[in-house]
Chain A
Amino acid sequence: QVQLVESGGGVVQPGRSLRLTCGASGFTFSSYGMHWVRQAPDKGLEWVAVISNDGKNKFYIDSVKGRFTISKDNSKNTLYLEMNSLRTDDTAMYYCVKDLGGGSSSLDYWGQGILVTVSS
């Protein structure tokens, strides 16, 4: 079955960096686009970034452009989110999410999430 396991979260000071990692299994990782979606404490879901199956195409929400970088290593079945110049409003649970694929723009499998807290 599909499994997505995030790691790398924690408490970090404003302006610092953090790298999230998501290990994937149970599907052909190289065939699917992948996303990061976040949820601030007691708030709703917010899409953050997407990367195409081959890693060539990437899109970001405006608030993270120039600060966050999404990447994937198909040889390691791993998705990454490099987060620089972190701000307090980046505090959230970050979910690694698989794209449904097949031309459908939906998010079919979610990891359990990893908490990122940006605080001085």
Chain B
Amino acid sequence: NAGVMQNPRHLVRRRGQEARLRCSPVKGHSHVYWYRQLPEEGLKFMVYLQKENIIDESGMPKERFSAEFPKEGPSILRIQQVVRGDSAAYFCASSPGTGGFTDTQYFGPGTRLTVL
């Protein structure tokens, strides 16, 4: 009964490099969400995806950030040309997509991105 899987757990990048964060949802879940967390703060919503569709990207920075959830394979959060301010923990959550507003989100262990 695997939960949400994220990899890598820790990622170190130099300024200007690209970061790719992967998320495999709970088996059977069709909805994926990405959140960012700075130290000592709550999580901030970035993007909500269903298979092959971006539903809500209101929390995504307009530049350098992109996300996808292909028909096959994990969801990917991609950060191009990383800057030090991108250093944070990035959490993925998934939900079954039951259609009700109580569609509970279950979180993965996160990827901790450090930009040098």
Instruction: Say whether A and B bind each other.
Output: no
> Which of B's residues lie within 8 Å of A, judged by CB?
none
